[in-house]
Chain A
Amino acid sequence: MSDLLFFTEVTLAGLGSGALLALTALAFVLIYKATRVINLAVGEMLMLGGYLFFAFAAGLGLPAFAAIPLAVAGGGLVGAIVERGLIRPMLGENPISVFMVTIGLGSVLVGLVELVWGTDPRALPAFMGTTPVFIGEAYVSRKIAIAFVVAAVVIAVFLTLFRFWRGGVALRATATDQAAAYSCGINVPGVFSLAWIVGCGTAAGAGVLLGSIGGISPAMGVFGLSALVVVIVGGLDSVAGALVGGLVIGLIEAWAGTYLGGEYKLVTTFGLLLVALMIRPYGLFGTTEIERL
C-alpha cells in the first residue's frame, strides 16, 4: 500500500515539473508558430525572468503580487527588443543563421546576468508558503502544486484564445501563409512582435515558478533544453502537443529518476525523443511538414 502511495507522490511531482516543462514549451511553440524561428534562447529568457523577479522582490523589496507581473512584463519587453532588433532584420535569411542568432543571444543573456548578479546560485524570496498539500494521502510540495495549477490555467487560456479569439486566427493564418495573411489585411509584423512578447513573457513567468522551487542560477537555462525535447516530441507548432508532451516528459523523468536512478533521467528522456521522432518525424501533434534545419 505504501508502495502505491509512494508511486502516487512521485507521479504528482512528475506532473508538477511536467506542467512547468509544458509552460516553457509553450514559449517555443508561440514563437515558432508565428515566425518559424526556433528560439534557443527561451531557456535564458526563463532564467532572466527568475532574476528579474529576484531583483524586484529581493532588491527593491516589492511584494510578490507586484514583482511577478513586473518580471513577466520585463521578459516581454526583452522579447520585443530582440524581435525588432535581431530577428526581424534576419527574416527571410537562412533559418540556420536565425537559429544561430538565438544561440548567441542565449550566451549574451547568461553573460549579462553573471555581470549583474554574479555566478552564485540564489534562492528566491518565498512567496507561496510551505504548508504541504495533500491529495488523498499523497503529499505534494505546495510550490509544485501551485506551479502546476498556474501552468495548467495559462495553457488552457492559450488554447481557448487560439480557437476562439480573432487574434488567434491571425496568428494561425500568419503561420500558414505569410503573403496570404498580408493579403487579408493582417498586420504580419505586428503578429511577429506579439508572438515574441507573449512567448518571452511566458518563459519569464515559468522562470519565476521554476526559481521559486529550485532557486535561480545563471545555468538554469538548461531547463530550456528539456522543454525543447518536449516541443520536438509534441510538435513544434502545436499548443496541445506542448501540454501533452510536457506532462509525459515530466512523468517519465520523475519515474526514471526514482525507480532507475538519477543517471537514467536524461537517457530515458532522449531515448524517448529518438523513438518519437522515428515514428512521427513532425512530432505527435505537429503539422505534417518537416522543417529542415
Chain B
Amino acid sequence: MAADILLDINNIEVVYNKTVQVLRGLSLSVERGKIVTLLGSNGAGKSTTLKAVSNLLTLENGAVTAGAIRFDGDDISRLTPHGLVRRGLFHVMEGRRIFEDLTVEENLTAATFALSGRGLKPTSFDLVYQYFPRLFERRQGRAGYLSGGEQQMLAIGRALIAQPSLILLDEPSLGLSPVLVEEIFTIIASINRDLGVSMLLVEQNAAVAFAVSHYGYIMETGKIVLDGPSERLVKDDDVREFYLGASGGEGTKSYRDIKHYKRRKRWLS
C-alpha cells in the first residue's frame, strides 16, 4: 500500500503476568487522517491492543512479547508512555479516567504537559470549549461532579489540548444515553474532519462506530478475523448478524446455531 500509514501494528502478542496470553498475532494499521474502528466482543482484547500501543501495558503487568508497533515510523517499544504522548499519540482511556479532584480547567492544564518539548504553540482552552460549550459553563467546578457525558467530553477535550496526530479512543459510548452517544460521535467526526486527527476507535456499539469510521477491523480472542472499509463491513452478513443485530430473515434460529457454528465455519476454519 502506498498510503501514508501513521500507526502500524504488526503481528503482536501480549501476555499478562507472564502467563495469560491476550493478543495472538494481531495486525492492523491506521492511515493518516482516517478514523479506524476496532470492534469485538467483551474480552476480545480491544483495550489491551490500545494499551499496547500507548505503552501503558507495563502498569498492568502486561508485555508485548512478539511483533512490533510503529508510530509515525518509529518503534514505540523504547519510548516511555509520556514520551509517546509528547510525540502526538494520545490515549483516551476506557472509563474516561478524568482527574476527579481537579477542576475542569486543571484537567485541561494537566494535558498541556503533552506539549512539553515539542515547540508547539499552546492550545487555547477555547478550542475545547468550542466543541464542548457545556464544559465552559462548568470550568471552575470539580470534574468529579460532572455527569458521565460531560466527563467523556472532558476526556476528549484533554486529547484536543495535546494536539495529537493520533487519538486512541476506548469506548467513548460507555454508559451514555443514546442521545449523548450521538452527540459525542458527531463531535468526534467533526474533530477528525476539522483538525485532520487520525483516530483508532474501540467500540461495542458497532452501528455508531461504522457511521463515523473509514475502515474497520473485527477481532475475536486476540486476533483480527475480518477487516475492510466501513461501508463494506456494514453490508457484510456476519457483521450485520453479530454486531448490528439484524436478523437473518429465515425465521427463528437457535442461538447456538448462529453464534457458534456459523462463526467457526466462516472465520476460524
1/0 per residue, CB under 8 A from A, across B96-110: the answer is 011111100011011
Q: Which residues of A contact B107 (CB under 8 A)?
A: 173
Please state if A179 and B114 are interface contacts (CB–CB under 8 Å): no
- Partner of A184 from the list B59, B61, B101, B110 (CB cut-off 8 Å) is B110
Is B14 at the interface (CB under 8 A from chain A)? Answer: no
Query: Cα distance A182–B101 when bound, in Å?
Result: 17
Is B180 at the interface (CB under 8 A from chain A)? Answer: no
Please state if B97 and A183 are interface contacts (CB–CB under 8 Å): yes
Q: Which residues of B contact A188 (CB under 8 A)?
A: 81-82
Please state if A183 and B99 are interface contacts (CB–CB under 8 Å): no
Please state if B110 and A181 are interface contacts (CB–CB under 8 Å): yes
Distance in Å: Cβ of B57 to nearest Cβ of chain A: 10
Please state if A180 and B97 are interface contacts (CB–CB under 8 Å): yes
Query: Cα distance A185–B111 when bound, in Å?
Result: 7
- Partner of A180 from the list B86, B99, B106 (CB cut-off 8 Å) is B99
**Which residues of A in the span 215-249 have a Cβ within 8 Å of any Cβ on B?**
none
- Partner of B113 from the list A176, A178, A186 (CB cut-off 8 Å) is A186
Listed stretches A82-90, A122-130, A164-172, A266-274; interface member:
A164-172
Most chain A Cβ neighbours within 10 Å, of B54, B100, B101, B162: B101
- Partner of B59 from the list A172, A178, A186, A187 (CB cut-off 8 Å) is A178
Please state if B113 and A172 are interface contacts (CB–CB under 8 Å): no
Distance in Å: Cβ of A261 to nearest Cβ of chain B: 43
- With both beta carbons as reference points, the residue of chain A lying nearest to B85 in the complex is identified as A185
Query: Cα distance A79–B140 when bound, in Å?
Result: 35
Please state if B106 and A172 are interface contacts (CB–CB under 8 Å): yes
Please state if B93 and A180 are interface contacts (CB–CB under 8 Å): yes
- Partner of A185 from the list B56, B61, B92, B116 (CB cut-off 8 Å) is B116
Query: Cα distance A178–B90 when bound, in Å?
Result: 15
Please state if B97 and A169 are interface contacts (CB–CB under 8 Å): no
- Partner of A176 from the list B85, B102, B112 (CB cut-off 8 Å) is B102
- With both beta carbons as reference points, the residue of chain B lying nearest to A189 in the complex is identified as B80
Please state if A173 and B86 are interface contacts (CB–CB under 8 Å): no
Is B91 at the interface (CB under 8 A from chain A)? Answer: yes
- With both beta carbons as reference points, the residue of chain B lying nearest to A163 in the complex is identified as B106
Query: Cα distance A155–B207 when bound, in Å?
Result: 54
Is B34 at the interface (CB under 8 A from chain A)? Answer: no
Is B158 at the interface (CB under 8 A from chain A)? Answer: yes
Please state if A179 and B110 are interface contacts (CB–CB under 8 Å): no
**Which residues of B in the span 150-207 have a Cβ within 8 Å of any Cβ on A?**
158, 162
User: What are 19 A-B residue pairs whose CB atoms fall within 8 Å in the complex?
Assistant: A92-B59, A92-B61, A170-B113, A172-B101, A173-B99, A173-B106, A173-B107, A176-B100, A179-B56, A180-B99, A183-B54, A183-B90, A183-B91, A184-B158, A185-B85, A186-B110, A187-B80, A189-B80, A287-B101
Query: Closest 6 A-B residue pairs measured CB to CB?
Result: A185-B114, A185-B85, A182-B81, A180-B97, A173-B110, A185-B113
